[in-house]
Structure 1
Amino acid sequence: MASSSSSSVPAFADNVMYRRQISHASWTSRNSDSPYPGASSSPLLQPRYDFHPNPAEWGIDFGETDDDDLHRAEKPNHNVEFSGNPWSIRGLTNLGCLFILIAGILTLFIGYPVLSFRSTEIGTTSSLGNLGGRNGTGQVPDIGNWGLIDAETPEIAYVVPSWNGGEDMQLVGGFFQTQLDLPHSVHLRYSATNSTPTAGHSTPGTIHTGKQASCCAFRCRNNADIPIRQLTCTIGPRITWRLWYDPEAVTTANGNLVITLSQKETHNLSYEGGMLSTWNKFCFTGGYIETSVRLPGLNNIQGLWPAVWTMGNLGRAGYGASLEGMWPYSYGKFLYSCDVGTAPNQTHNGGPFAATVNGDTGHDGELSWLPGQRLSACTCPDQDNLHPGPKRGNGYVGRASPEIDVFEAQITSINKVLIPQVSQSAQWAPFDAAYQWLNTSDFFSMTDPTISHINSFKGSITQEATSIVTNTAPLCYEDNGNCFSIYGFEYRPGFDDGYITWIATNKVAWTIKGGAVGSNPQTQIGPRQISGANFSPVVLSPHATVAEPMYLIANLGMSFNFGKVDLEHLPFPCHLEIDYIRVYQPKSAINVGCSLIPAILQDTQHKHTSTRNYIQAYTNPNLTTWRDDFGQPFPKSSFLGEC
């Protein structure tokens, strides 16, 4: 077999084998001292891996192949790269790319920080008291069905006539229409969601002007109306109950907004209610607000306090520090409104006498325990960091947070018969002598005295109330029927030409004109103003008047300060159901937004950025007073000789 195998090997293979064997023998001799045998010690394996020393004999084509484009050393294209013209297409392209790169770097590291800082400054300046600068121009984006007007609003509701025979009213805001989901109520829902107070806070709010009163309600009649979320009330000598306002109590069902009051343990408290608002998100100045509601509980059981109401945007309901010295003032828009009405307790050097007598019978007849108007027309000229403005020729414009209620529902005992009613009111400061507003026929009218009467509550040490109580539909209660009733008010801001007309069960209940809260010589105060007057374009004029934008609030709670509470018979849980809340304004006077001054005039005002420094007063519900809890001063007053 060996001879046969040798004859089959090609001639060149013999030569290769011979050479490889010599090489192998030489390698073996050089490594003979290795204890391991060579890997190629077997000559039988060598022919399989040997090649002829001449590559041409391998059968491979070694001819020249074409190079690809990158390997062709051709002569450069002088027409493109070396023409000597710097404005060639390629040169311009290179310069353009370089310019874009440099511009991007400069924008990122210089332009963006400058623009960011500038936009923040503009937002704060333009707000002039609108915290955070939101809605500075009254513009709100329409995102899906989250706009100011719910898409389910029927066309017939877009325009309504004025209740006072004036210009037709156009719908500018509509919430909680039928077929509504909670996300559609974005403007109200956000306030509720973000308003949960810090757990464990149990200190009632107080006022501190040398006199003190305890807080016993969401809006305390004896506590400067400083609302806090955790409420403490005493029933008799020993029993105490507490109420917690929680976003969990605000839901939707059957196309309605539902606020629930429950007897349940919440944050170690006994009851849970709900409150929501459009603070700093939706505000309006002048117009008509209307709501359709089914009231909670039974029409013959006392104790519930459902309400829909409005406040000036400079005070946030539920955040006491923001309200000290702000609620319920509506004062300082005229030249002569720097007077004793802005002072603590509405007195100075012991007078006037009318401010010390015939006041609150529960407090020795004293008229006022208010701490004084924080942002008054008496503010010293150098207090820009404390007063949000605007300024006029003779100083600051007085600012505050007035209140107008759509309704507060109550069950009243008349001759031992329980009657379902609503009180429809506006709250004022400073106060008239004995809280007696001018309810003559020139300034006041009541449509049907058989179902309406002047409220016996006229005021207390913290507020003066212009209020009428009206019988309401007895079947439009949660446990008495299925109907909804309509309530609202139409108002024109101003003084003598201002008015408020209240609507109960879709009919005019009563009207008050600005003259009813005019000057009072006994308490030596000037005229109060219906929620701020229409803005005068002559901003710096001594007679310029401004508007306080109002926002919406709805809540359900309980309070002994509001009336008797029959805990034994209240049918918990109770539900306030709201079908809708709509806001209308005259077509020629649309004014929606939480800023004080129209955007076109904002650049003429002094810069004010202090709202960024004071935002905690509007976001921390545990700060119940401005000076003691929040630790901030009131602006200095020229009337008190502090300049």
Structure 2
Amino acid sequence: MVRNETNVRDRNTGEYTFVPNHSPTQAHNPFSDAQAAYELSPVMSSQPRTAAGGSAAGLPRTHSDNSSSEASGIARGEVGGGYGPYAYTLPQSYPQEQPLLGNGRGHIATPPMPQPNRFSSNVSEASYASDYKGHYTAPGVRPAARSTGGPSQQTTTGTGVYLWNDKDDEMDDALHTADPSGKDERHNFELWSARGWLNVATIFILLAGLIMLFGGFPIIVHFRDDRKDEGSATPGFNLGGINSTGQVPQLGNFPSMIDPDTPAEAYTRKGFDGSDYTLVFSDEFSVDGRTFFPGDDPYWEGVDFHYWPTGDFEWYDPSAITTRDGKLVITMTEEPIHDLNFKSGMLQSWNKLCFSHGVYLEVSVSLPGVNDVGGFWPGVWTMGNLGRAGYGATTEGTDDRLPAYTYDTCDLGTLPNQTYPNGTGPASTLEGNNGNPLSYLPGQRLSRCTCDGEDHPGPKLSDGTYRGRAAPEIDVIEAQIDVSVATGEMSQSLQLAPYDAYYYPFNSSSDYQIYDPTITKWNSYRGGEFQQAVSALTYVPNNVYTNTSGDYNTYAMEWYADTNDRENGYIAWVANGVRSWTVHASAIRANPISEIGDRIIPEEPMYIILNFGMSNNFQSVTFTQLNFPNEMHIDYVRVFTKDGLGTVGCNPDDYPTAEYIAAHENAYTNPNLTIFADAGYTFPKNRLVDTC
């Protein structure tokens, strides 16, 4: 007998009840066609029956029976694809009515279901129960599909397979969210898309930045600093023209070569000729604890050698130099070092910081020792960049001032000993030093007479000759003690070669001026076989020594040297803050007695040297009265250039040095070599004595 009822399970109690079915003509009810299936459910009646598998009637069905039935259904693919909390599949159409398995008591009718998704098409208990409350299909029962016009239900003979599809969310990947249903997967171009234009603009900005970084910036720097490493003829300094390698020094918080602690009133000055000068470099030494070992500082470097050219008693070591209490401190100590008994310091800006043509160099110094005991030899001086102080192979000889040529003429002044090629004259040279030879110089190595194609730094001039080059010296101060009056004095001088007869420059009132004869006088020392000195001595106050009051005094020099205006060149010195004396180019003009041409006010790029030495070759040292340790203090160093003329840099176009130094590295890096030949190099040919 067929019951027109449907067995429905109450989800709260788990009990089953019969609900009458509606006739086909009645309005459709989701449960109108369901057949009672309680006999096959886990809570089915225990009335005796004969199971399809041949079970004995009257025995209740156990949990193992249900498990076995479900396992069998899973193995056959009848159960599993859509069961459980992760069921995805819904039937594609109304299932067909189908007799209950094993009893033939009726049919199960299922209500309409939504269309399936894109996963498995297996039937799922959750597919029914989750959307149609009250309906239940017993596990193990697989309803047949009834055609309703849609595609038939798919089944498998194995387990359900969930094929991966990028159109659906991933259950185990929270970052994978499928596109909304129905979205066009084609990526159409939209001209006025704000997001698109923003993306393009971002990419453009990134590309432009990369191009500017690796392409534009180097081009801008090249054209902005078109005289890089070569100095500049404009006021101030040119970036990249600081040293021969093109480095732009940065010291701590320094934004430029001008120390930010330099007072504003020191940024400009009026020259002694009325010209405007602009500050281009300053070091106030206001940062304590600075060191000056090689590589420590962009401007300065402490040397590490014995200064043998002048027979010094001390060994120069960078550890003797530091900054303290806003000043540079160079300390001389009595201690054994490198077979010597004293250690001190020499600070150089060689090949790092150079100046030429119209320049004013000023320092504020407190001198070592006391005003009535001689022996210390503090100095502030400059030298041409082609000579490295203390490196004998670059200065060729036994004195630091070799070869201090300031000469651009091709005549016997360029030859060894300043004599004719056959050595027969002139007489003033053969006996001009109290019956002795005037000069022992080896000759001007880089002269105007150098044969074409020989080893010469240049430049080559329009007439095909080379410009005469060397390493001249200008001393701001070399301090000594006038023990006869127990007062300190400064030697302020120009070292030069070739020499005047008897070492006497021209000394008319138009050739030089001494501004206060009560404290300034001509230096009685005028020169010797290895140098000529155009020099004056100026007394200084007793309170400017570190072992007395420790006060500071200002010393300076202003020099003007123009290749196109050599006859008006001059050097003016300052002591005690005021101008002490001046020498003009006319004082060192051509000398017919010694048969030489004009010496010139130095036009070479000059670097700065600060040192604290001790030697009997300058003043007799009274060791028993000197105290150690002793210190030399420098408050500041400032450099100004003449507007429109002064040059900053060690490798200017008109006086290049970089290539020559690089080509003679051994001479410029080994202080133990005493002459040029020891470094493995030879003198270039001179057309006055050699065949070009």
The normalised TM-score by structure 2 is: 0.65
Question: Which one of the candidate residues 630, 634, 639 is aligned to 2:683?
Answer: 634
Secondary structure at the counterpart of residue 494 of structure 2: strand
- Aligned partner of 2:344 in structure 1 is 273
Task: Report if aligned partners of 1:302, 1:566 keep a CA contact under 8 Å in 2.
Answer: yes
Say whether residues 1:353 and 2:461 are aligned partners.
no
Alignment of 1:484 with 2:552, yes or no, is yes
Match of 1:389 in 2: 459
Contact conserved, 1:458 with 1:464, CA < 8 A, in 2? yes
Report the 3-state secondary structure (helix = DSSP H, G, I; strand = E; otherwise coil) of the residue aligned with 2:379. Answer: strand
* Residues 158 and 126 of structure 1: CA distance in aligned 2, closer, same or farther (over 3 Å): closer
Where does 1:91-102 land on structure 2 (aligned, <5 Å)?
none
Residue 263 of structure 2 aligns with an amino acid whose one-letter code is P
**Residue 623 (structure 2) pairs with residue 623 (structure 1):** no
Three-state SS of the structure 1 residue aligned to 2:587 is helix
Q: Is the 8 A contact 2:243 2:650 kept in 1?
A: yes
Instruction: String of CA shifts for 1:362-411, please: whole Å, max 9, x gaps.
Output: xx71221222111111111112x543424332311111111110010001
* Partner residue in 2 for 1:162: 271
Partner of 1:583: 639
Q: Distance in 1 between matches of 2:610 and 2:81?
A: 100
In 1, are the aligned partners of 2:244 and 2:352 still within 8 Å (CA)?
Answer: no
Q: How does 1:38-117 map to 2 (within 5 A)?
A: 54-55=79-80, 59=84, 61=87, 63=89, 65-66=117-118, 67-69=165-167
1:118-139 deviation line (CA, Å, top 9, x unaligned): 99xx9999589xxx98547999
Question: How far does residue 509 in structure 1 lie from its aligned partner after superposition?
Answer: 1.7
Deviations 1:154-178 (A, max 9, x none): 1222222323x4223322222226x
* Larger displacement relative to structure 2 (460-469 or 313-322): 313-322
Matched, 1:504 2:575: yes
Whether 2:490 is the aligned partner of 1:422: answer yes
Alpha-carbon separation, structure 2, partners of 1:298 and 1:78: 93
2:506 to 424, 438, 457: 438
SS in 1 for 2:483: strand
Following superposition, the deviation at residue 284 of structure 1 comes to: 1.6
Task: Output the amino acid matched with 1:55.
Answer: G
**Aligned position for 1:228:** none
Q: Tell me how far 1:250 sits from its aligned partner.
A: 1.0
Task: Give the structure 2 partner of residue 31 of structure 1.
Answer: none
Query: What is the CA–CA distance in structure 1 between the aligned matches of 2:422 and 2:593, rounded to whole Å?
Result: 16
Distance between the aligned counterparts of 1:508 and 1:58, measured in 2? Answer: 108
SS in 2 for 1:263: strand
Within the candidate set 146, 150, 171, 2:279 is matched to 171
Q: Does 1:329 align with 2:401?
A: no
Alpha-carbon contact 1:352-1:522 (below 8 Å) kept: no
Aligned counterparts of 1:180 and 1:311: Cα–Cα separation in 2: 27
CA RMSD of superposed structures (Å):
4.4
Cα pair 2:309 2:392 within 8 Å, conserved: no
Of residues 415, 440, 444, the one that matches 1:373 is 444
Question: Compared with structure 1, are the counterparts of its residues 65 and 255 closer, same or farther at alpha carbon in structure 2 (3 Å cutoff)?
Answer: same
- Residue 318 of structure 1 aligns to a residue whose secondary structure is coil
Q: Separation in 2 of the partners of 1:487 and 1:244?
A: 26
User: Structure 1 303/311 Cα, relative in aligned 2: closer, same or farther at 3 Å?
Assistant: same
Q: Which residue in 2 is equivalent to 1:308?
A: 380
Q: Is the 8 A contact 2:291 2:321 kept in 1?
A: no
For the 8 Å contact 2:588–2:599, the answer to whether it is kept is yes
* CA deviation after TM superposition for structure 1 residue 437, in Å: 1.2
Q: Which amino acid aligns with 2:369?
A: G
The one-letter code of the counterpart of 1:574 is N
Match for residue 623 of structure 2? 567
Letter in 2 for 1:563: Q
Contact kept, 8 Å, 1:358 with 1:433, in 2: the verdict is no
Q: For 1:301-323, what per-residue CA distance to the aligned partner results, in whole angstroms no more than 9, with x for missing partners?
A: 11000010111122122222222
Deviates more, 1:446-455 or 1:553-562: 446-455
8 Å CA contact 1:330–1:529 kept in 2: the answer is no
Q: Is 1:289–1:581's contact at 8 Å kept on the other side of the alignment? A: yes
Amino acid in structure 2 at the alignment position of 1:168: D
Distance 2:387 2:363 in 1: 23
Cα distance between partner residues in 1 of 2:275 and 2:69: 118
Q: Which one of 474, 498, 514 corresponds to residue 404 of structure 1?
A: 474
Give the aligned residue type for 1:626. F
Aligned to 1:553: 609
Aligned twin of 1:614: 664
Aligned residues of 1:408 and 1:423 also touching (Cα < 8 A): yes
Assess, with a 3 A threshold, how the Cα gap between structure 1 residues 249 and 586 changes in structure 2: closer, same or farther.
same
Q: Which residue of 1 aligns with 2:254?
A: 145
Moved more, 570-579 or 8-17: 8-17
Report which structure shows greater RCO (CA 8 Å, sep ≥6): 1
SS at match of 1:262: strand
The CA deviation at 1:190 is 4.6
Contact 1:437 1:517 in 2 (8 A): yes
Instruction: Name the SS for the 1:357 alignment partner.
Output: helix
Kept in 2: contact 1:146–1:185 (CA 8 A) = no
Shift of 1:429: 0.6
**Aligned residue identity for 2:641:** Q
2:351 is aligned with 1:251: no
Structure 2 unaligned blocks of 5 or more: 1-44, 47-58, 90-115, 119-164, 169-177, 190-195, 233-239
Q: Secondary structure of 2:586's match?
A: helix
Match of 2:39 in 1: none
Answer yes or no: is the 8 Å Cα contact 2:250–2:257 preserved in 1. yes
Distance 1:577 1:564 in 2: 23
**SS where residue 297 of structure 1 aligns?**
coil
TM-score of the superposed pair, with normalisation by structure 1: 0.70
| Cα distance, 1:507 vs structure 2 | 2.2
Measure how far apart 1:276 and its partner are.
0.7
Q: Is the 8 A contact 2:559 2:570 kept in 1?
A: yes
Residue 300 of structure 1: how far off its partner (Å): 0.7
Matched with 2:360 is: 288
Query: Does the CA-based 8 Å contact 1:16-1:52 persist in structure 2?
Result: no
Q: Cα distance, 1:469 vs. partner?
A: 1.3
Name stretches of at least 5 consecutive residues in structure 1 with no aligned partner: 1-6, 24-49, 82-88, 203-216, 221-231, 234-241, 533-547
By how many angstroms is 1:59 displaced?
A: 4.7
Q: What amino acid is aligned across from residue 329 of structure 1 in structure 2?
A: A
Contact kept in structure 2, 1:243 and 1:273, CA below 8 Å: yes
**Percent of residue pairs identical:** 38
Q: Does 1:596 align with 2:596?
A: no
Aligned to 2:369: 297
- Cα distance change of structure 1 residues 146 and 267 upon mapping to structure 2, 3 Å threshold: farther
Q: CA deviation at 1:267?
A: 3.5
The CA deviation string for residues 426-462 of structure 1, in whole angstroms up to 9 with x for no partner, is 1001111121111222212222323222212111111
